[in-house]
Amino acid sequence: MSSTQEQNEDVVRRFITETDRGNPEILLEVMTEDARWHLGGATLDRESLLAASKSFNAAFPDLKHGLEDLFAVGDRVVMRGVNSGTHTGEFMGLAPTDRSVKFGILIIFRLEEGRIAEAWEEADVLGLLAQLGVKVPPDAT
């Protein structure tokens, strides 16, 4: 692995570690000014991602990214994990349930000059909602 790939992994690992410590503002340091985060069908800029992260962390203040795999190829870093947390704040209009949840996540990061320039995230949102007691139609899974 090249030193650039190792450095890219370190940037992503730092982003995850600081986010787990309750510091979503880390994304302002590790992301480029014009970074884009593709989340399902939405594309967020840094400020929108920061707002979404703060909202999610308010709903799940003990959120942790259980890192299962992290590897770099060229300018990409792939992260696969299992997020866990407790639903103690409002989430998507749903009142707190105090339920513990676990859901899979996969993110592909593209880095430029040591900073995250773009990311594609897929998370098991249907599984998360089902754990919170939301009735998920059988044809939605």
Contacts for 95 with CB less than 8 Å, ≥ 6 apart: none
The verdict on pTM exceeding 0.85 is: yes
Pairing of strands 64-73, 76-86: antiparallel
E strand intervals along 16-99: 31-39, 42-44, 64-73, 76-86
In the chain the domains, ranked by start, together with CATH numbers, are 3-140 (3.10.450.50)
pLDDT at 140: 61
pLDDT at 1: 65
pLDDT at 141: 55
pLDDT at 40: 84
pLDDT at 137: 76
Check the CA dihedral 57-30-65-78 and report its sign: positive
Q: Provide the 10 A C-beta neighbour count for residue 72.
A: 21
Secondary structure (3-state) at 101: strand
**Residue stretches of the chain with pLDDT short of 70:** 1, 140-141
The amino acid sitting at 26 is: I
